[in-house]
Amino acid sequence: MRYGLLIVALCFMLGLGGMTPRAAGDDGVITLDTGTVRGMNVDEAGNLWAFKGIPFASPPVGDRRWQPPAPLPAWGGERAADQFGPRCLQSGRPSLGGGIPPLSEDCLYLNVWTAAEPEERRPVMVWIHGGALTGGAGSRSHYDGTALARRGVVLVTLNYRLGPFGYLAHPLLTAEAAQAASGNYGVLDQIAALDWVQRNIARFGGDPDQVTIFGESAGSWSVQTLLATPLAKGLFHRAIGQSGGVLGSYGSTPQLATAEAEGERFATTLAGAATDVTLAAMRAASAVDVMAAAASAEGRMRSRPVVDGWVLPDTARAIFTAGQQHAVPVLLGWNANEGSLAAGRAPEDVAAYGAWARETFGDDAPAFLDLYAADTPAAVREAFLQAYGDQNFGWEMREWARLTANVDQPAFLYHFSRVPPGSETGVYHGAEIRYVFGNLYAPGAPHDYSLLDGWVSDLMASFWVAFATTGSPNTSDTPPWLAYTPLRDELLDFGDTGVHRLGFRKAELDFFDRYYAEPMDAHPDGEGGGDGTGVLQP
- The pLDDT assigned to 11 comes to 40
Closest to 187 in 3D by CA, of 315, 305, 55: 305
Domain hosting residue 367, numbered range: 2-522
Task: Find the range with the poorest average confidence among 141-150, 341-350, 527-536.
Answer: 527-536
- The pLDDT assigned to 530 comes to 35
Catalytic residue among 139, 182, 217, 249: 217
- The pLDDT assigned to 274 comes to 64
Catalytic residue among 338, 396, 432, 527: 338
Distance of CA 533 to the CA centre of its chain: 16
For residue 22, is pLDDT > 80? no
Domain for residue 131, yes or no? Answer: yes
Task: Find the range with the poorest average confidence among 22-26, 77-81, 256-260, 464-468.
Answer: 22-26
Winning range, highest mean pLDDT, from 21-35, 80-94, 433-447: 433-447
Residue 217 is a catalytic residue: yes
Domain for residue 381, yes or no? Answer: yes
Residue 129 is a catalytic residue: no
Closest to 333 in 3D by CA, of 267, 399, 254: 399
Task: Find the range with the poorest average confidence among 342-356, 394-408, 514-528.
Answer: 514-528
Q: How far apart are CA 275 and CA 260, in angstroms?
A: 19
Residue pair 87/99 in contact (Cβ under 8 Å)? The answer is: no
- The pLDDT assigned to 442 comes to 87
Percent of the chain with pLDDT over 70: 89
- The pLDDT assigned to 480 comes to 87
More confident residue, 276 or 15: 276
More confident residue, 466 or 46: 466
Catalytic residue among 326, 429, 462, 490: 429
Domain for residue 531, yes or no? Answer: no
- Percent helix, strand, coil in the chain, to 5, is 40, 15, 45
Residue 303 is a catalytic residue: no
Domain for residue 379, yes or no? Answer: yes
SS3 55: strand
Q: What is the pLDDT of residues 185-231, one digit of tens each?
A: 999 999 999 999 999 999 999 999 999 999 999 999 999 999 999 99
- The pLDDT assigned to 131 comes to 95
Confidence tier at 479 by pLDDT (50, 70, 90): confident
- The pLDDT assigned to 528 comes to 34
Whole-prediction pTM value?
0.92
Residue pair 40/50 in contact (Cβ under 8 Å)? The answer is: yes
- The pLDDT assigned to 46 comes to 77
Domain for residue 537, yes or no? Answer: no
Q: How far apart are CA 483 and CA 192, in angstroms?
A: 31
Tell me the mean pLDDT in the region 359-385: 97
Domain for residue 529, yes or no? Answer: no
Secondary structure of 111-128 in HEC code, one letter for each residue: EEEECCCCCCCEEEEEEE
Q: How far apart are CA 120 and CA 438, in angstroms?
A: 23
Q: Write the single-letter amino acid at 57.
A: A
Closest to 330 in 3D by CA, of 226, 209, 214: 214
Q: Write the single-letter amino acid at 329.
A: P
For residue 35, is pLDDT > 50? yes
- The pLDDT assigned to 206 comes to 98
Q: How far apart are CA 95 and CA 137, in angstroms?
A: 13
Task: Give the phi and the psi of residue 495 in degrees, each rounded to 5.
Answer: -120, -135
Tell me the mean pLDDT in the region 58-67: 98
Task: Find the range with the poorest average confidence among 146-150, 270-274, 329-333.
Answer: 270-274
Domain for residue 215, yes or no? Answer: yes
Strand partners, 154: 124
Kindly report each contact of residues 513-518 with a partner whose C-beta sits within 8 Å and lies 24 or more positions away, as own/partner. 513/395, 513/399, 514/364, 515/361, 515/364, 515/391, 516/247, 516/248, 516/249, 516/395, 516/399
For residue 522, is pLDDT > 60? no
- The pLDDT assigned to 118 comes to 87
* Beta carbons within 10 angstroms of residue 97's beta carbon: 7
Supply the mean pLDDT for the chain. Answer: 90
More confident residue, 93 or 153: 153
Interacting residues of 518 by C-beta distance below 8 A, sequence separation 6+: none
Task: Find the range with the poorest average confidence among 36-45, 73-82, 250-259, 275-284.
Answer: 250-259
Domain for residue 536, yes or no? Answer: no
Distance of CA 298 to the CA centre of its chain: 29
The C-alpha angle 362, 365, 370, rounded to 5 degrees, equals 170
Q: Work out how many domains the chain is built from and give that number.
A: 1
Query: What's the CATH number where 140 sits?
Result: 3.40.50.1820
For residue 287, is pLDDT > 80? yes
Q: How far apart are CA 368 and CA 354, in angstroms?
A: 10
Alpha-carbon separation of residue 512 from 486, 495, 506, 508 (angstroms): 15, 25, 10, 7
Q: Is 290 exposed, middle or buried (0-12, 13-18, 19+ CB in 10 A)?
A: buried
Q: Write the single-letter amino acid at 501.
A: R
- The pLDDT assigned to 237 comes to 98
SS3 242: strand
Confidence tier at 45 by pLDDT (50, 70, 90): confident
Q: Is 189 exposed, middle or buried (0-12, 13-18, 19+ CB in 10 A)?
A: buried
Rounded CA Rg of the chain: 23
For residue 376, is pLDDT > 90? yes
Percent of the chain with pLDDT over 90: 83
Tell me the mean pLDDT in the region 296-300: 93
- The pLDDT assigned to 140 comes to 94
Q: What is the dihedral of CA 77, 79, 80, 84, to 10 degrees?
A: 170
Q: How far apart are CA 466 and CA 456, in angstroms?
A: 15
Residue 179 per-residue DSSP state? T
Helix axes 287-295, 256-271, angle to 10 degrees: 120
Helices (H), 137-184: 146-150, 163-167, 171-176
For residue 385, is pLDDT > 60? yes
For residue 523, is pLDDT > 70? no
Q: How far apart are CA 520 and CA 527, in angstroms?
A: 5
Confidence tier at 25 by pLDDT (50, 70, 90): low
